[in-house]
Chains A and B, each alone.
Chain A
Amino acid sequence: KQEVTQIPAALSVPEGENLVLNCSFTDSAIYNLQWFRQDPGKGLTSLLLIQSSQREQTSGRLNASLDKSSGRSTLYIAASQPGDSATYLCAALYNTDKLIFGTGTRLQVFP
Protein backbone atom coordinates (compact mmCIF):
# COMPACT_ATOMS: atom_id res chain seq x y z
CA LYS A 1 0.00 0.00 0.00
CA GLN A 2 1.29 3.44 -0.93
CA GLU A 3 1.54 5.58 2.16
CA VAL A 4 3.16 8.89 2.98
CA THR A 5 4.13 9.77 6.53
CA GLN A 6 5.27 13.08 7.95
CA ILE A 7 7.19 13.63 11.13
CA PRO A 8 6.80 15.56 13.33
CA ALA A 9 3.08 16.23 13.34
CA ALA A 10 3.66 19.61 14.94
CA LEU A 11 6.65 21.84 15.51
CA SER A 12 7.10 25.10 17.36
CA VAL A 13 10.33 27.07 16.96
CA PRO A 14 11.62 30.58 17.66
CA GLU A 15 12.13 32.96 14.79
CA GLY A 16 15.45 32.64 13.01
CA GLU A 17 15.92 28.92 13.47
CA ASN A 18 16.75 26.60 10.61
CA LEU A 19 14.45 23.61 10.57
CA VAL A 20 13.83 20.34 8.76
CA LEU A 21 10.52 18.69 8.03
CA ASN A 22 10.54 15.02 7.19
CA CYS A 23 8.48 12.99 4.73
CA SER A 24 8.71 9.27 4.07
CA PHE A 25 6.94 7.15 1.47
CA THR A 26 6.54 3.39 1.36
CA ASP A 27 6.70 2.84 -2.41
CA SER A 28 9.80 4.29 -4.06
CA ALA A 29 8.33 4.09 -7.60
CA ILE A 30 7.30 7.71 -7.57
CA TYR A 31 7.11 10.12 -10.49
CA ASN A 32 7.65 13.16 -8.34
CA LEU A 33 7.47 14.43 -4.78
CA GLN A 34 5.75 17.71 -4.01
CA TRP A 35 5.69 19.98 -0.99
CA PHE A 36 2.69 22.19 -0.29
CA ARG A 37 1.83 24.81 2.27
CA GLN A 38 -1.65 25.20 3.72
CA ASP A 39 -2.71 28.20 5.76
CA PRO A 40 -5.72 27.86 8.09
CA GLY A 41 -8.97 27.92 6.16
CA LYS A 42 -7.18 28.13 2.84
CA GLY A 43 -6.27 25.86 -0.05
CA LEU A 44 -2.88 24.36 -0.74
CA THR A 45 -0.05 26.33 -2.28
CA SER A 46 2.68 24.48 -4.13
CA LEU A 47 6.18 25.15 -2.79
CA LEU A 48 8.50 22.76 -4.55
CA LEU A 49 8.24 19.82 -6.94
CA ILE A 50 11.09 17.32 -7.28
CA GLN A 51 11.06 14.97 -10.24
CA SER A 52 12.08 11.37 -9.56
CA SER A 53 15.33 11.94 -11.47
CA GLN A 54 16.27 14.94 -9.32
CA ARG A 55 17.91 15.09 -5.92
CA GLU A 56 16.78 18.50 -4.74
CA GLN A 57 15.01 21.74 -5.55
CA THR A 58 15.48 25.18 -4.06
CA SER A 59 13.28 28.23 -3.86
CA GLY A 60 14.42 31.13 -1.73
CA ARG A 61 14.82 29.97 1.85
CA LEU A 62 13.34 26.57 1.04
CA ASN A 63 15.25 23.50 -0.05
CA ALA A 64 13.69 20.12 -0.65
CA SER A 65 15.67 16.93 -1.12
CA LEU A 66 14.64 13.54 -2.40
CA ASP A 67 16.19 10.14 -1.73
CA LYS A 68 14.13 7.55 -3.58
CA SER A 69 16.18 4.59 -2.41
CA SER A 70 15.41 5.31 1.22
CA GLY A 71 11.90 6.60 0.56
CA ARG A 72 12.55 9.97 2.14
CA SER A 73 12.24 13.65 1.41
CA THR A 74 13.10 16.61 3.58
CA LEU A 75 12.05 20.22 3.45
CA TYR A 76 14.65 22.57 4.86
CA ILE A 77 13.54 26.05 5.89
CA ALA A 78 16.35 28.50 6.56
CA ALA A 79 16.05 31.43 8.94
CA SER A 80 12.43 30.76 9.79
CA GLN A 81 9.99 33.67 10.13
CA PRO A 82 6.57 33.99 11.79
CA GLY A 83 5.08 34.18 8.30
CA ASP A 84 6.26 30.61 7.72
CA SER A 85 3.70 29.39 10.24
CA ALA A 86 1.38 27.00 8.40
CA THR A 87 0.81 23.31 7.78
CA TYR A 88 3.28 21.72 5.38
CA LEU A 89 2.19 18.73 3.34
CA CYS A 90 4.24 16.45 1.19
CA ALA A 91 2.70 14.35 -1.56
CA ALA A 92 4.04 11.57 -3.77
CA LEU A 93 2.81 11.10 -7.33
CA TYR A 94 2.58 7.53 -8.58
CA ASN A 95 1.84 6.00 -11.95
CA THR A 96 -1.79 5.76 -10.94
CA ASP A 97 -1.94 9.55 -11.42
CA LYS A 98 -2.80 9.84 -7.77
CA LEU A 99 -1.08 12.23 -5.43
CA ILE A 100 -0.78 10.50 -2.07
CA PHE A 101 -0.64 13.10 0.67
CA GLY A 102 0.97 12.92 4.07
CA THR A 103 -0.93 14.12 7.12
CA GLY A 104 1.17 17.24 7.37
CA THR A 105 3.42 19.02 9.84
CA ARG A 106 1.89 22.00 11.61
CA LEU A 107 4.61 24.60 12.03
CA GLN A 108 4.50 27.57 14.36
CA VAL A 109 7.30 30.13 14.32
CA PHE A 110 7.08 32.54 17.22
CA PRO A 111 8.77 35.94 17.42
Chain B
Amino acid sequence: DAGVIQSPRHEVTEMGQEVTLRCKPISGHDYLFWYRQTMMRGLELLIYFNNNVPIDDSGMPEDRFSAKMPNASFSTLKIQPSEPRDSAVYFCASSLSRERDTQYFGPGTRLTVL
Protein backbone atom coordinates (compact mmCIF):
# COMPACT_ATOMS: atom_id res chain seq x y z
CA ASP B 1 0.00 0.00 0.00
CA ALA B 2 1.20 3.52 -0.74
CA GLY B 3 0.34 4.77 2.72
CA VAL B 4 -1.81 7.79 3.48
CA ILE B 5 -1.79 10.22 0.57
CA GLN B 6 -2.33 13.93 0.98
CA SER B 7 -2.58 16.70 -1.57
CA PRO B 8 -1.41 19.28 -2.13
CA ARG B 9 1.88 19.06 -0.25
CA HIS B 10 2.18 22.83 -0.15
CA GLU B 11 -0.47 25.50 -0.49
CA VAL B 12 0.02 29.24 -0.48
CA THR B 13 -3.08 31.37 -0.65
CA GLU B 14 -4.33 34.81 0.21
CA MET B 15 -6.53 35.66 3.13
CA GLY B 16 -10.19 35.17 2.32
CA GLN B 17 -9.67 32.44 -0.24
CA GLU B 18 -11.13 28.96 0.06
CA VAL B 19 -8.67 26.15 0.72
CA THR B 20 -9.37 22.45 0.21
CA LEU B 21 -7.03 19.78 1.52
CA ARG B 22 -7.38 16.20 0.39
CA CYS B 23 -6.62 12.84 1.92
CA LYS B 24 -6.71 9.24 0.77
CA PRO B 25 -6.44 6.84 3.72
CA ILE B 26 -4.89 3.41 3.67
CA SER B 27 -7.28 0.94 2.09
CA GLY B 28 -9.29 -0.98 4.68
CA HIS B 29 -8.73 1.46 7.51
CA ASP B 30 -11.94 2.36 9.31
CA TYR B 31 -10.71 5.49 11.07
CA LEU B 32 -9.57 8.76 9.53
CA PHE B 33 -8.18 11.69 11.48
CA TRP B 34 -7.35 15.28 10.59
CA TYR B 35 -4.68 17.05 12.67
CA ARG B 36 -3.12 20.47 12.64
CA GLN B 37 0.45 21.12 13.76
CA THR B 38 1.86 24.51 14.74
CA MET B 39 4.89 25.55 16.71
CA MET B 40 2.75 27.16 19.37
CA ARG B 41 0.15 24.45 19.91
CA GLY B 42 1.83 21.28 18.69
CA LEU B 43 -0.37 18.57 17.19
CA GLU B 44 -4.10 19.04 17.62
CA LEU B 45 -6.88 16.71 16.53
CA LEU B 46 -9.44 18.58 14.47
CA ILE B 47 -11.94 15.88 13.56
CA TYR B 48 -12.12 12.15 13.04
CA PHE B 49 -14.33 9.75 11.12
CA ASN B 50 -15.27 6.14 11.68
CA ASN B 51 -16.63 4.29 8.65
CA ASN B 52 -17.04 7.63 6.85
CA VAL B 53 -19.15 9.12 9.66
CA PRO B 54 -17.84 12.13 11.60
CA ILE B 55 -17.57 11.12 15.24
CA ASP B 56 -15.99 14.06 16.99
CA ASP B 57 -15.45 17.50 15.49
CA SER B 58 -14.89 19.31 18.77
CA GLY B 59 -11.37 20.20 17.68
CA MET B 60 -12.49 22.15 14.64
CA PRO B 61 -11.53 25.69 15.58
CA GLU B 62 -14.33 27.62 13.89
CA ASP B 63 -17.23 27.31 11.51
CA ARG B 64 -14.84 28.30 8.76
CA PHE B 65 -13.51 24.74 8.96
CA SER B 66 -15.45 21.81 7.56
CA ALA B 67 -14.58 18.21 6.71
CA LYS B 68 -16.25 15.53 4.67
CA MET B 69 -15.69 11.89 3.92
CA PRO B 70 -17.94 10.95 1.00
CA ASN B 71 -16.51 7.45 0.76
CA ALA B 72 -13.99 5.15 2.39
CA SER B 73 -11.13 6.28 0.20
CA PHE B 74 -11.40 10.06 0.25
CA SER B 75 -11.73 12.93 2.69
CA THR B 76 -11.48 16.70 2.43
CA LEU B 77 -10.79 19.46 4.90
CA LYS B 78 -12.03 22.84 3.77
CA ILE B 79 -11.30 26.29 5.15
CA GLN B 80 -13.52 29.09 3.93
CA PRO B 81 -12.57 31.89 4.24
CA SER B 82 -8.94 31.30 5.15
CA GLU B 83 -7.05 33.55 7.57
CA PRO B 84 -3.31 33.99 8.25
CA ARG B 85 -3.68 32.24 11.63
CA ASP B 86 -4.74 29.10 9.79
CA SER B 87 -1.16 28.73 8.53
CA ALA B 88 0.06 25.36 9.76
CA VAL B 89 0.84 21.83 8.64
CA TYR B 90 -2.29 19.73 8.30
CA PHE B 91 -1.94 15.99 8.66
CA CYS B 92 -4.32 13.22 7.79
CA ALA B 93 -3.97 9.84 9.50
CA SER B 94 -5.80 6.55 9.33
CA SER B 95 -5.99 3.42 11.45
CA LEU B 96 -7.53 0.01 11.31
CA SER B 97 -9.06 0.02 14.76
CA ARG B 98 -9.26 2.36 17.70
CA GLU B 99 -7.34 0.63 20.43
CA ARG B 100 -5.00 -1.96 19.04
CA ASP B 101 -3.52 -0.27 16.02
CA THR B 102 -1.38 2.75 15.54
CA GLN B 103 -2.32 5.67 13.37
CA TYR B 104 -0.52 6.03 10.06
CA PHE B 105 0.18 9.59 9.09
CA GLY B 106 0.36 11.19 5.69
CA PRO B 107 3.19 13.56 4.74
CA GLY B 108 1.09 16.61 5.54
CA THR B 109 0.03 19.75 3.70
CA ARG B 110 1.93 22.91 4.59
CA LEU B 111 -0.58 25.76 4.35
CA THR B 112 0.49 29.38 4.23
CA VAL B 113 -2.18 32.05 4.24
CA LEU B 114 -0.85 35.49 3.35
**A contact set with B: CB distance below 8 Å:** 31-32, 34, 36, 41-46, 49, 51, 89, 91, 93, 96-99, 101-104
Contacts and interface: CB of A to CB of B under 8 A. Distances in A.
Given A32-B99, A43-B106, A46-B102, A101 B56 contact: no
A43 B101 CA distance: 17
A31 B48 CA distance: 17
A105 to B, nearest CB: 12
Nearest to B103: A99
Nearest to A47: B102
B105 A97 contact: no
Interface of B: 4, 31, 33, 42-43, 45, 48, 50, 55-56, 59, 91, 93, 98-108, 110
A32 to B, nearest CB: 6
Contacts of A89: 43
Contacts of A103: 42
B42 A45 contact: no
24 contacts: A31-B98, A31-B99, A32-B100, A34-B102, A34-B103, A36-B105, A41-B110, A43-B4, A43-B91, A43-B107, A44-B91, A46-B102, A46-B103, A46-B104, A51-B100, A93-B99, A97-B31, A97-B55, A97-B98, A98-B48, A98-B59, A99-B45, A101-B43, A102-B42
